[in-house]
Amino acid sequence: MKVSAIIPAAGSGQRFGEAKQYKKLGGHPVFFHALAPFMKCSKIDEVVIVVSDRDIERIKHQILSLSINKPIQVVAGGDKRQDSVKNGLNAINPTSTLVCIHDAARPFVTEELIERSIVECHNYDGAILGIQSTDTLKIAEKKLVKSTINRDLVWLAQTPQTFKKQKLIDALVNAQSECLVGTDESALMEAMGFAITIVEGHPNNFKITTRDDWERAELLFGLKQNIEIGDANEV
């Protein structure tokens, strides 16, 4: 069973103020850190990175510096995230049966998390990573609290999200015909009634969206580097 990975990286970073996937973390662009575990993961057969038209040649050049052990492509994105994912799907190997999608701005994903989503997808139409909410959740209108949500039912979705390829294609076609816009691919699959399971993610697998997230990423990266140096010194 072939598995293709798609990494959407065409966002402009409006909330962040710049395209954070290209901002350097520890000397390398954020998307390098997100990409590396997919290149190492034995369950991933190929990777497609989706970027804006203007960035294609630059990203292709940057990727040349990587140790590449599997097919990797850089293709143009679309106006919306789901358009970019569709373009990525058009570029993958036609024999692939599963598609694993990951945010370029989640630099702390691990091989274990990737494999977890792929393994669980075999029994469902899709498998997404998530962590359960630990906060009390309120619904409010104009800052006036209306109700409290049972947090035991609430999961904070992460990526990677792995889906049966043909069913993801069907969901994207349906979204286009019904004018649906999802913040992730799971939402489009859910709209079709497909069975999506949640796989335990990790708090460190957060998406860099705000400047506070960036500070957290720098701290976590520095901590990981110190641990690796400490481990090397003990050898």
pLDDT in tens, 58-111: 999 888 777 778 999 999 999 999 999 999 999 999 999 999 999 999 999 999
Confidence of residue 53 (pLDDT cuts 50, 70, 90): very high
Which comes out higher in pLDDT, residue 103 or 225? 103
Q: Is the Cβ–Cβ distance between 149 and 137 less than 8 Å?
A: yes
State the DSSP string of 198-222: EEE--TT-----SHHHHHHHHHHHH
Which region holds residue 165: left if phi is over 0, alpha if psi is between -120 and 50, else beta? alpha
Whole-angstrom Cα distance, residue 95 to residue 12? 32
- Say which amino acid occupies 84: S
Considering its fold, how many domains does the chain have in total?
1
In the predicted structure, residue 230 carries a pLDDT above the cut 60: no
Residue 168 belongs to a domain with what CATH number?
3.90.550.10
> In DSSP terms, which residues pair with 156 in a beta bridge?
131
Of 164 and 222, the one with more pLDDT:
164
Above 80 in pLDDT, residue 24? yes
Spatial separation of the C-alpha atoms in residues 44 and 21, rounded to whole Å: 21
Mean pLDDT of 123-139: 96
Domain interval for residue 104 = 3-234
The predicted structure's pLDDT at residue 228: 59
The per-residue pLDDT for 227 is: 64
Distance CA 188, CA 25 (A): 32
Q: Provide mean pLDDT across the span 147-159.
A: 96
As a whole number of angstroms, the longest Cα–Cα distance in the chain is 59
Q: Say whether pLDDT at 12 is over 90.
A: no
> Distance of alpha carbon 227 from its chain centroid, rounded?
25
What's the full length of the chain, in residues? 235
Q: What are the b/e assignments for 109-127, b being 16+ CB within 10 Å?
A: bebebbbbbbebbeebbbb
How confident is the model over 165-208, as pLDDT tens digits?
A: 999 999 999 999 999 999 999 999 999 999 999 999 999 999 99
pLDDT of residue 224: 78
The average confidence (pLDDT) of the chain is 93
What's the confidence (pLDDT) of residue 26?
92
The string of pLDDT tens digits covering residues 25-40 is 999 999 999 999 999 9
Percent of the chain at pLDDT exceeding 90 = 85
Determine the average pLDDT of the residues in 123-138. Answer: 96
Do strands 46-51 and 72-76 pair parallel, antiparallel, or not at all (unpaired)?
Answer: parallel
Sort residue 143 into left (φ over 0), alpha (ψ -120 to 50) or beta: left
